Amino acid sequence: MYDSGKIIPGLIIFVLIVTFPIWFNHGVAADPPKAELPKDKKQCVLPLSEIRPNHMKTLNQWRDEVLRTEDRSFFSVEGTMYQKSLQNACMQCHVSKKKFCDVCHTYAAVTPYCWDCHLEPVEEATKEDVN
Amino acid sequence: MDKKRREFLKIAGISTLAGLGAPAVVDRLVSGVSPLAARAAVEVQPGGHGAESQAPAEHGAEVVPTGKQYGMVIDVRKFIAQPGLADECIKACNVSHNIPQFPDPKDEIKWIWLTGHENAFPDNSQYHLSETMENNQVLVLCNHCANPPCVRACPTKATFKDKNGIVAMDYHRCIGCRFCMAACPYGSRSFNWRDPRDPQGGLDMNNLNRLFPTRMRGVVEKCNFCVERLGRGEEPACVAATGGSKAMVFGDLNDPDSEIRQVLKQNYTVQRKPSLGTKPSVFYII
């Protein structure tokens, strides 16, 4: 091989640079997202083990029941009645989209389009953003 | 392992025959049950998903519409007697449903609006019309037709007839093809050419009905007969805005005892473009 003295060290340096994020972060786990839960409420509409992985399915199911079958029945959690609604049920307790929804969605790099139409709860921070 | 072409072709042929023949043999073995019937039997097992709802009517008879058909009677005389009332109805709707007010008529979003008598009722004779009628602006909205052409045109079932007879929209499914707009003979549908939350002329984001969503750019929207208010046991926003004046009466057209049916019984009413066969559910007392 011609110029092996340059090519091989060059290749080694290239591989080191490309794999930099892997070996630099090795053994250092990034902090998992920590969504802010409501302080005064303990019970969600479903147990944590179901609502956390399946909330999108629940929301889709609610949407279809409410819009398609016109089944707008309320349901009770700890004695409080709730509608089947993202905007009017979930976000009544989870009062901050930024501290609840966005935390995990940003971490998982998903961009659901809920908020293109649905209104997020009014927060102090959002007011500043608007102004 | 040196295969000749001749041998390869033999094996390939036998395999093809076996592959084609095997299902037929298996079907015979499932004692006389035809494959289609066997498949259906599997699907209609008790507890099977959607088994009940998809059961076809017996002997192919048409399913009788047993549901409601919400409708409305608009008393034009009362709107003439009370100028400004119509604008209040429109305003109530706009506020209730977060409808953006774009200055350019091309971007306009209309759920309920005013139009000339002649435009509202082009089927009727406009010959020697009374002066009041000639200059009158009529309140028009989606007719929630019993035979809605928009629903047939929609390729994604984003718009559909719900069980209360309301022509409803599911904005999650709308792909913005605007076939429904072409199909609607009343111009009751508006396309969101611009983002309703557009800071230039769209919604006032600090002054919204927080119980109702907005729409997004690229979907078609229309009057929903206030399904969300009906679900809470309230009457539609425009009807509520008329107060007790009975300028608008809302109710179930299929219920012979409903108030709207009494009003229809006692008054001569017209519909918009009835000759098209859409069976509009909004009636006008002229």
Best B97, B164, B172 residue to mutate vs chain A (most A CBs within 10 Å): B172
List B residues 5-64 in contact with A (Cβ-Cβ < 8 A): none
Closest CA to B139 of B167, B105, B110: B110
What amino acid is encoded at A3 in this protein? Answer: D
* Residues B198, B78 within the same domain: yes
Q: Strand pairing of B282-285 and B70-75?
A: parallel
* Residues B97, B211 within the same domain: yes
Contact: B208, A119; criterion CB under 8 Å: yes
Model pLDDT for residues A19-72, shown as the tens digit of each residue? 998 888 888 877 888 888 888 888 888 898 999 999 999 999 999 999 998 888
* Residues B87, B226 within the same domain: yes
* Residues B156, B118 within the same domain: yes
Kindly report the pTM of this predicted structure.
0.75
- Mean per-residue pLDDT for A5-16? 94
Residue B83 lies in a domain: yes
* Residues B149, B106 within the same domain: yes
Q: Strand pairing of B137-141 and B112-116?
A: antiparallel
Task: Tell me the two tokens of residue A82.
Answer: 């709730």
- Mean per-residue pLDDT for A94-102? 92
Task: Tell me the two tokens of residue B143.
Answer: 């007719």
A18 touches chain B (CB under 8 A): no
Contact: B215, A88; criterion CB under 8 Å: no
User: Where in the sequence is the domain holding B156, given as residue range(s)?
Assistant: 70-285
* Residues B180, B144 within the same domain: yes
Residue B159 lies in a domain: yes
pLDDT at residue B22 in the model: 87
> What letter would DSSP give residue A68?
I
pLDDT at residue B1 in the model: 61
* Residues B153, B217 within the same domain: yes
pLDDT at residue B152 in the model: 96
Residue B149 lies in a domain: yes
* Residues B158, B253 within the same domain: yes
In angstroms, the CA B185 to CA B120 distance is 11
pLDDT at residue A79 in the model: 84
Residue B246 lies in a domain: yes
pLDDT at residue A74 in the model: 87
B211 touches chain A (CB under 8 A): yes
pLDDT at residue B125 in the model: 86
List B residues 95-114 in contact with A (Cβ-Cβ < 8 A): none
Contact: B211, A88; criterion CB under 8 Å: yes
Model pLDDT for residues A104-128, shown as the tens digit of each residue? 999 999 999 999 999 999 876 544 4
Residue B60 lies in a domain: no
Residue B57 lies in a domain: no
Residue B169 lies in a domain: yes
Q: How many CB pairs under 8 A join A and B?
A: 36
Model pLDDT for residues B238-247, shown as the tens digit of each residue? 999 998 899 9
* Residues B139, B207 within the same domain: yes
> What letter would DSSP give residue B59?
G
* Number of domains chain B is built from: 2
In angstroms, the CA B242 to CA B134 distance is 23
Asked whether B118 and B106 are in contact (CB, 8 A), the reply is no
Q: Which chain B residues contact residue A63 at CB under 8 A?
A: 170, 172
Residue B58 lies in a domain: no
Which residues of chain B are under the pLDDT cut of 70? 1-2, 31-66
Higher pLDDT, A94 or B58: A94
The 10 Å Cβ neighbour count of residue B133 is 17
pLDDT at residue B58 in the model: 42
Q: What is the CATH number of the domain that holds B115?
A: 3.30.70.20
Backbone angles phi, psi at B30, to 5 degrees: -75, 80
* Residues B173, B104 within the same domain: yes
**pLDDT averaged over every residue in chain A:** 87
Asked whether B215 and B196 are in contact (CB, 8 A), the reply is yes
Contact: B210, A116; criterion CB under 8 Å: no
In angstroms, the CA B149 to CA B158 distance is 13
In angstroms, the CA A47 to CA A79 distance is 16
Best B167, B175, B198, B212 residue to mutate vs chain A (most A CBs within 10 Å): B212
Measure CB to CB from residue B170 to each of A67, A72, A122 and give the nearest one. Answer: A67
* Residues B131, B77 within the same domain: yes
* Residues B43, B75 within the same domain: no
pLDDT at residue B204 in the model: 86
The 10 Å Cβ neighbour count of residue B4 is 8
Question: In what helix (H) or strand (E) does residue B74 lie, and over which residues does it extend?
Answer: strand B70-75
A88 touches chain B (CB under 8 A): yes
